[in-house]
Amino acid sequence: MPKMKTKSGAAKRFKVRASGSIKRSQAFKRHILTKKTTKAKRQLRGITNVRACDVAMVRAMLPYAG
């Protein structure tokens, strides 16, 4: 059997932590920031976990990650 390919777009967007959880960056922080409030932009900082309902789909795209 040939090796499975990793989805390169998913590899750029997601990282698997040592605990097994998957981290991702926040959306809606790239452009059109002038109409967003300072509070909204501040709360979009940092990283967060992938939702439990989406973990299986992300893991399928990253077959060799952790």
Domain definitions of the chain by residue range: 8-61
Q: Which residues contact 26 (CB under 8 A, 6 or more apart)?
A: 44, 45, 46, 47, 48
- For residues 33-62, average pLDDT: 97
| CATH code given to domain 8-61 | 4.10.410.60
Q: What is the dihedral of CA 12, 42, 57, 65, to 10 degrees?
A: 40
pLDDT at 46 (0 to 100): 95
Region 33-60 average pLDDT: 97
Q: What H or E segment, with its residue span, contains residue 12?
A: helix 8-13
66 pLDDT exceeds 90?
A: no
Give this prediction's pTM.
0.85
